[in-house]
Amino acid sequence: MQVYNSANLVSQAPIALGNNSSVQAQEQRARVTARETLNSEESQNQKSQADVETRQRLDIDEQAIALIERELPSAYGKNNSQQSNQQNSFNSAYDSPSNQNKLAVATYQSVDNIAQRDNIEQVFGVDLFA
């Protein structure tokens, strides 16, 4: 930015030598433009600082988030596992059938076994004795 301004001034210098009023006006313009450029530079600097600050703030936030994320899953996981265990035990307790139902299932399966035994006996022409 500074280089650009000086170039402008150098390019405008021969014109200033011919006319004093115009030189003054040009100087004023130059000052104004310089101030504007300075202002713009300052504002840009401020913006960049603000950006950096905001970035730092974001960085801090990210760290904090990372920390929270590290801590939370374990605690949440524990709770989850406990909950899932409880649920499992509850479910298993809920799912365990009564003896009467077990007997019914075994009887049902034994019918299937008898059918399988008959099939084996028919296919191989043998008798099975338990």
Partner 1 sequence: MLIYLPKLSEQKSSLTSSKKPSSFRQKYQFWLMLLTAFIILQLPFISIPFKWLESYFHEISHGLTALLTGGSIVKIQLFPNGAGLCTTRGGSSFLISLMGYGGAILWGCLLFSLASVHRRVAQAFSILLVALFLASILLWVRDLLTLFIVLVLLGLVLAQLKYSSQKYLQMLLQMTGLLVLINSLMSPLYLLDGQARGDGAALADITYIPELIWVLLWFFVGLFATYKLSKVSFIIKRKD
**Residues of the shown chain interacting with partner 1 in the complex, contacts defined by CB under 8 A:** 103, 106-107, 110, 113-114, 125-130
Q: Which is nearer to partner 1, 95 or 127 (CB)?
A: 127
Is the distance from CB of 5 to CB of 34 less than 8 angstroms? yes
In the complex, what is the shortest distance from the CB of residue 120 to partner 1, in angstroms, rounded to a whole number? Answer: 9
Nearer Cβ to partner 1 (85/113): 113
* Residue pair 2/9 in contact by the 8 Å Cβ criterion: no
8 A C-beta contact, residue 38 and residue 1 = no
Smallest gap, in angstroms, from Cβ of residue 105 to partner 1?
A: 11
Task: Calculate the dihedral angle through the C-alpha atoms of 33, 39, 44, 50, rounding to the nearest 10 degrees.
Answer: -170
Residue 126 is encoded by which pair of tokens?
Answer: 């043998």
Please, which residue, 92 or 100, has the CB nearer to partner 1? 100
Residue 128 C-beta: closest distance to partner 1, Å: 6
Instruction: Pick between residue 82 and residue 110 the one whose CB is nearest to partner 1.
Output: 110
Shortest reach from residue 119's CB to partner 1, in Å? 14
Is residue 16 within 8 Å of residue 26, measured between CB atoms?
yes
Report how far residue 6's alpha carbon sits from residue 24's, in angstroms, rounded to the nearest whole number. Answer: 17
